[in-house]
Homo-oligomer: A and B are copies of this chain.
Amino acid sequence: MTTTATNPLDALVTHLQETALLSTSNNLLDWDQETMMPGGGLEWRARQQALIARMVHERASSLERGDLIAAVESNAKFMAEPQTAALVREAKRDYTKATKLPSSLVEEMAKTSSMAKHEWAEARAASDFKRFAPWLEKLVGLLRAQADCYGVPAGGERWDALADLYEPGCTAKYVAGVFEPLRPRLQKLIADIKSAPRKPADGFNDYFVGIDQQEALSKLVAQSIGFDFNRGRLDRSTHPFCGGTHCNDVRMTTRYNERCVNDALGSTMHESGHGIYEQGLDFSRIGTPLGESVSLGIHESQSRMWENQVGRSRAFWSWLATKLPSTIGADASRFTLDELYGAANVVEPGFIRVEADEATYNLHVMVRFEIERAVIGGSLEVAGIPSVWNKLYKDLLGLEVPDDRRGCLQDIHWSMGAMGYFPTYTLGNLYASQLFEAACEQMPGLVDGFSRGEFAGLKKWLNENIHVHGRRYAPSELVQRVTGKPLSAEPLMRHLEGKLRPLYGI
């Protein structure tokens, strides 16, 4: 590929953007595979994705890229501009990572995960872990090789090298340190709820709503909270996700369960949070680190904030109650605000992470963290996953897992070759609580506005404080800048205790 730019900064940006043209094309192939592609397309699609992934990797690890970064870095005039300095810092981080991986491994991973995702979907439908196990074994082997290429940090473990891809600087030790004190506090709250004197009315959770009506409601809510449908879509897939190619073409998906409208609503709010973050990135910085999201933890903070801090608030439901009759049927007006708000906040241990309430959610994440840490570390074989999974669900959530479909086959992540990813969900919950507290302090009356359908203030605050910066600041630095404090578990526990104890009369 030819770069006609004359100064090294322009040349670097062109190099980054041309690579992004390819990688985002692969993102679209991925979205298509999950939402549109007929089954017959699988084999060729896997080869398409593998080739493009290889080409992206070759460019991202090329001598030309390295030379361009070095040329900008050695130019004091360029580096005096803080945005450029941040761009170079992050481009260098990516380049260093990319040069450590051989192309053959990148391609093998892309090809294997493309097939494995399909096998996972089939195995999940059949609740047959054995069918998926050989693919997962192959992926684990590739992930270990990948970790070894990146290099295990001193005093750390292989898992850390993978987690760093999703949350810069994240280690198993750090995660364990965050999870360990959180676990008993969550378990205490859940136990108190279990023996609570009253339960919220939750009839709305058994209210049958047709899928087309749910889709209309989901689109209304996504649009109302700020997702721009001129720059994105909402479709259906087995596992909800937010993908697409760039800030002006964001592809979200959700799934619908006729027996529970709150499933689709929660996952739509969640994916809309991701989508609003993506749409809030700076198009003029597209393809460069300054036009990319900073970490999965911060990404998840956006989805969880809209899903939980907004979407499970009493104020939100007092607004949404006025929209239900026109979208899902006049009969929906029979539910009181207490019933709607209550239904959104039922706490009950269940099998499925993506359907979990806010209190039990983090325990689901802890199960996955423990398993993937052991599998990557080598103390657990892939074949042993179902039994360890089921034991952990018994210990942490008090549940007997009935089958692998509702157990260790429920999530798509491992089939995509993503390990070290799950803990970012809990980090996201912690970030979300802390950021939302700051937003409420800085904008008095914010939550009251939700009851009038006013969500633009929060969206604008997030656009300006989080989204537009891209990767300019590290996640911890960003949280410190915006909230004035380092990350802490207190805001999450305040949020949960403050809402759930009154609701359950405990």
Chain A residues engaging chain B, CB cutoff 8 angstroms? 1, 18, 21-22, 24-25, 28-29, 32, 36-41, 43-45, 47-48, 51-52, 54-55, 228-233, 245-246, 248-249, 286
Listed A/B pairs (16) with beta-carbon separation below 8 Å:
A18-B51, A21-B51, A22-B48, A22-B52, A25-B48, A28-B32, A38-B229, A38-B231, A38-B232, A40-B232, A40-B249, A43-B248, A44-B245, A45-B245, A45-B249, A48-B245
Q: How far is the CA of A420 from the CA of B99 in the complex (A)?
A: 48
Task: Determine whether the beta carbon of A36 is less than 8 Å from that of B36.
Answer: yes
A249-B286 contact in complex given A18-B51, A29-B25, A44-B24, C-beta closer than 8 Å: no
Task: Determine whether the beta carbon of B246 is less than 8 Å from that of A44.
Answer: yes
Q: How far is the CA of A166 from the CA of B39 in the complex (A)?
A: 30
A40-B286 contact in complex given A28-B29, A29-B25, A51-B21, C-beta closer than 8 Å: no
Task: Determine whether the beta carbon of A48 is less than 8 Å from that of B32.
Answer: no
Q: In the complex, given contacts A24-B48, A36-B233, A40-B249, what are 16 additional A-B residue pairs having Cβ atoms less than 8 angstroms apart? A: A1-B55, A18-B51, A21-B48, A21-B52, A22-B52, A38-B229, A38-B230, A38-B248, A38-B249, A39-B230, A39-B231, A40-B232, A41-B246, A41-B248, A41-B249, A44-B249
- How far does the Cβ of A48 sit from chain B's closest Cβ, in whole Å? 5
Q: Give every chain B residue within 8 A of A39 (Cβ-Cβ).
A: 230-231
Q: Give every chain B residue within 8 A of A43 (Cβ-Cβ).
A: 248
- Name the residue on B nearest A235 (C-beta): B36
- How far does the Cβ of A207 sit from chain B's closest Cβ, in whole Å? 25
- Name the residue on B nearest A246 (C-beta): B44
Q: Give every chain B residue within 8 A of A37 (Cβ-Cβ).
A: 249
Task: Determine whether the beta carbon of A245 is less than 8 Å from that of B41.
Answer: yes
Task: Determine whether the beta carbon of A51 is less than 8 Å from that of B22.
Answer: yes
- Name the residue on B nearest A32 (C-beta): B28
- How far does the Cβ of A286 sit from chain B's closest Cβ, in whole Å? 7
- Name the residue on B nearest A228 (C-beta): B40
Q: How far is the CA of A39 from the CA of B228 in the complex (A)?
A: 11
Task: Determine whether the beta carbon of B40 is less than 8 Å from that of A230.
Answer: yes
